[in-house]
Structure 1
Amino acid sequence: MREWVIQYERFNQTEKLLFKRLVNMLLAKTFIIRDEYEAATGRLKVHADYRFIERTFEVFSGYLELAGWTLHRDNTYGVIYLNSQHDYNKVQLNKFTTLMLLTLRLIYEERREEVSLRNEIFFETHEMILKMQVLGILDKKPSMKDISEGLKRLSHFNLLNKIEGKWDAPDTHFLLLPSILFIIPNDKISMLAALVESSKEDERRPSDQDEDDENEAEDEADASELMEDLL
């Protein structure tokens, strides 16, 4: 009998129920973050779910491996995440959400140099949009509906937390989570930069509606292909 099975059998009933809940959470959200932000105190605290997975990592890893998933753990940033060994069960993000993700990854990279002693990196919605404009990846002003849907999508996968405000407000306060470093590792940044440049060229190039639709479809495919190995 495998060691992880023996360890699982030693779980009490409460631990088995917790194991079941957290396996489903990992499959739904991909990332589990160690440090949870408490708005009341303005401090980070260690999340009990992360500690349980960390303490029984071999059980989670062995169980999920049977279904074709690889469980990873990074103790430096406090991130546990799943990666599929197969081509299915992949999340596809649309072009706009992918470009939002790139922008937030760049914001995280810039600001973590300023807050080297702490991991809290905050941003407001309007700062993200301004950054996208500076990068030149917006061909038109996005609607707040598109922005809020993209932010909710990223929040679902524990890439950011809404701290204060409404999803569709420009001054909503968010916390960027270190999981964003793993969904876009350094070797993927250059690929995303190419997607940004492609967006700029589409904006500059005159075309009729049919060509615009074709270009947009190609960009959507590029974005999906880029993200398929991440979530």
Structure 2
Amino acid sequence: MFEKDLENLNSSEKEDFRRIANYLLSHTYLVRHEYQSSRQMTLPNREYQIVSRLFELFRDYFAISGWRLEKDENYGIISLTNTYEHNRLQLNRFTTLFLYMCRLIYEEGREEAGSFHTVRTDTQTVVEKMQTLGLIGKETEKGRVRGKTTKKERIEAQRTLAHFNIIRKMENSPWDGEGNKILILPSILSIIPNQEINTMYSELEDLKYSPGNEEAAETGSSEDETQ
């Protein structure tokens, strides 16, 4: 049945199918609306529309090789996960913290997110939330700051989360370690759903900065696993 449905697509649809299937394997998430920084506006995501229209075909295609394609019509999220829990990305400590802070900010602002289900914030707000929770930037008795985040860490964390369509940069310019205006996308709900918020808080307690994990905090050598 799958092969027959695929053959019934025209040449343009087949090309879209191949292209988007590869995109999903690399980026994991698609959201219904896409912010285009070059135009400073949010528009319908054509790739999302194509997958929605051909959802059963995409779902059956991925299922053959052990992938599960899911769609949340309420928030406009399409996600692809491996049923064998393979191909999981290892996030370094700072990127994990950045992700968790984005989830907290999303939770705080989701009631005002509007029809696009996106929450606006900026790099500095995310970093300051880490400091408030005691996750980075602990000050010593001599006034020196330990575990301070670097520009490189901030840029790499944002690039990683943007690659997987979890956040979106609002400026039409390169990522900046000093700070960017960003949109937190509803796909973050697929990574950390409501029922896992308490687990996230518990993990944040374990990730709090202390002299014992100084090297990991400064180099990002400690890794946490996420899908």
TM-score by length of 2: 0.86
- Aligned to 1:129, the other structure's residue is in SS state helix
Structure-1 residue corresponding to 2:222: 220
1:45 aligned to 43, 46, 49, which one?
Answer: 43
Q: Which has the higher strand share?
A: 2
Asked if 1:168 corresponds to 2:166, the answer is: no
Whether 1:186 aligns to 2:188 is no
SS state at 1:168 partner? coil
Q: How does 1:101-180 map to 2 (within 5 A)?
A: 101-116=99-114, 118-139=116-137, 140-164=147-171, 165-180=173-188
Question: Do the aligned residues in 1 keep the contact of 2:30 with 2:48 (CA within 8 Å)?
Answer: yes
Q: Where in structure 2 are there 5+ consecutive unaligned residues?
A: 138-146
Contact 1:70/1:83 (<8 A) preserved:
yes
Per the alignment, residue 5 of structure 2 pairs with: 7
Q: Find the counterpart in structure 2 of residue 30 from structure 1.
A: 28
Amino acid of the structure 2 residue aligned with 1:52: I
The two structures, once aligned, show a CA RMSD in angstroms of 2.4
Q: Which runs of 5+ in 1 are unaligned?
A: none
Residue 48 and residue 132 in structure 1: after superposition, are their counterparts in 2 closer, same or farther (change >3 A)?
same
Question: Which digits, 9 at most, give the CA deviation of each residue in 1:131-163, with x for residues without a partner?
Answer: 111121115220010110011011110001111
Contact preservation (8 Å) 1:34, 1:78: yes
Would the alpha carbon gap of residues 93 and 103 (structure 1) be closer, same or farther in structure 2, given more than 3 Å must change?
same
Letter in 2 for 1:121: V
Structure 1 residues 16 and 38: alpha-carbon distance in aligned structure 2, compared to 1, 3 A threshold: same
Equivalent residue, structure 1, for 2:63: 65
Higher helix share: 1
Which residue is 1:96 aligned to? 94
Q: Distance in 1 between matches of 2:129 and 2:174?
A: 20
Query: What secondary structure is seen at the aligned counterpart in 2 of 1:113?
Result: helix
Q: Which one-letter code corresponds to 1:97 in the other structure? A: T
1:119 CA displacement: 2.4
- SS of 1:93's partner is strand
**Could you tell me how far apart the structure 2 residues matched to 1:23 and 1:93 are?**
24
Distance 2:185 2:135 in 1: 23
Number of paired residues? Answer: 216
Structure 2: how far apart are the matches of 1:117 and 1:62? 30
TM-score with structure 1 setting the length:
0.84
